[in-house]
Amino acid sequence: MAKEKTKVASELRQLDGVGEVMCEKLSEAGISTLMSLATCSPSEVADTAGMSEANARKIIKAAREELKLGFEKAADYSKKRDAVKNISTGCKELDRILGGGFESSAITEVYGRTASGKTQISHLMLVKTIQTDKHSKAIYIDSESTFRVERIKDFCDANKVDYDDAMNRIFVARSYNTDHQLLLVDEIEKILQKDNTYKIIVIDSLTSHFRANYSGRGELADRQQKLNKHLHQLLRLADLYNLVIIITNQVQSDPGMMYGNPEKPIGGNIMSHAATNILYLRPGKSGTYVAKLVDSPSLPQDECVYLITKEGIVDV
């Protein structure tokens, strides 16, 4: 504990207006580094540290100046993309439409109806991430009681990953409602500030509790506001810690759709704007599955066909 306090002091105490008591309050809220402070909003810091928004804005500005978080040449900015990795799914066709696999520093939304393979991909990518680095760790937030150790074992065996080792590097939390899910992400932020070996966060599914806890039209605005905040916190974590973040999403049918696919992901525009990449899954013919890349900032719309087997996702 003393070591952690020293680290916090060395990071934040160099800023004017930040004393020991404020350091303690910020640290308890998961703000223990210059970067975490610099990426907070003034209202967050004001509420946490018990100060005015004007003072909060002042210390945030100081943190940003210390880190030089301003404009830079596009040539320099592009170098940051060199750290971005793609974790392969093991399926050539699925990797192809994803540009090599699931991208780090990004949120990938995977949506589809029940039994479209969302949870299968979620479990597989935990193991694939563990496989890429002997020190890497993974986090799985389970909102629908879908986590199954049997599938982790199947995928470990197929990918020659030590099952017991993997089970000690995959951390699972069951979320029971919207507020609990938000608190779990707050806790993840605190963990990441102390341990940078976590490489992937999976939330299966992101919208389940939002859909259940905010059911009426009168609660829609509150739901969307809270969902927006939740997604932006995840975006910040993805960017700051170069994480692969996979969020699964449910669908609803649009009764007004006369032609085309009536299935639409939950969350509306807020969800679609926050996700970096959007992948739509559906069952295909003869036991196959179809994945369609609906949106990506760097890849064209495309789709592929694959199989889900005991060993994982394989090409047809």
| pLDDT, tens digit (0-9, with 9 covering 90-100), for 173-210 | 999 999 999 999 999 988 998 898 999 999 998 999 99
pLDDT of residue 148: 96
- If you average pLDDT over residues 84-88, what whole number do you get? 95
In sequence order, the 6+-apart residues with CB closer than 8 A to the CB of 94 are: 291, 304, 306, 313
Q: How many CA atoms lie within 13 A of 231 on its CB side?
A: 26
- Which amino acid is present at 226? K
Residues of the chain with CATH 1.10.150.20: 2-67
**What is the full DSSP assignment across 129-185?**
HHHH-TT-EEEEEESSS---HHHHHHHHHHTT--HHHHHTTEEEEE--SHHHHHHHH
- Which amino acid is present at 78? S
Q: How far is it, in rounded angstroms, from Cα 39 to Cα 170?
A: 27
* 87, 244 Cβ separation under 8 angstroms: yes
pLDDT of residue 216: 72
- If you average pLDDT over residues 281-304, what whole number do you get? 96
The token pair that represents 182 in the structure block: 């938000």
Residue 8 pLDDT > 50: no
In the chain, pLDDT over 70 holds for what percent of residues?
A: 95
Q: Encode burial over 147-170: b for 16+ CB neighbours within 10 A, e otherwise.
A: beeebbbbbbebbebeeeebeebb
| pLDDT, tens digit (0-9, with 9 covering 90-100), for 32-41 | 778 878 888 8
Q: Cα 55 from chain centroid?
A: 31
- Higher pLDDT: 172 or 250? It is 172
| pLDDT, tens digit (0-9, with 9 covering 90-100), for 25-71 | 787 777 777 887 888 888 888 887 778 888 888 888 888 888 777 78
Residues of the chain with CATH 3.40.50.300: 81-315
Which of 65-69, 263-267, 287-291 is the most confident on average? 287-291
Q: How far is it, in rounded angstroms, from Cα 237 to Cα 233?
A: 6
- If you average pLDDT over residues 93-107, what whole number do you get? 97
Residues in the chain: 316
CATH architecture classification, 81-315: 3-Layer(aba) Sandwich (3.40)
What are the C-alpha distances in Å from 129 to residues 20, 136, 303? 39, 7, 23
- What is 2-67's CATH number? 1.10.150.20
Which letter does DSSP use for residue 101 in this model?
S
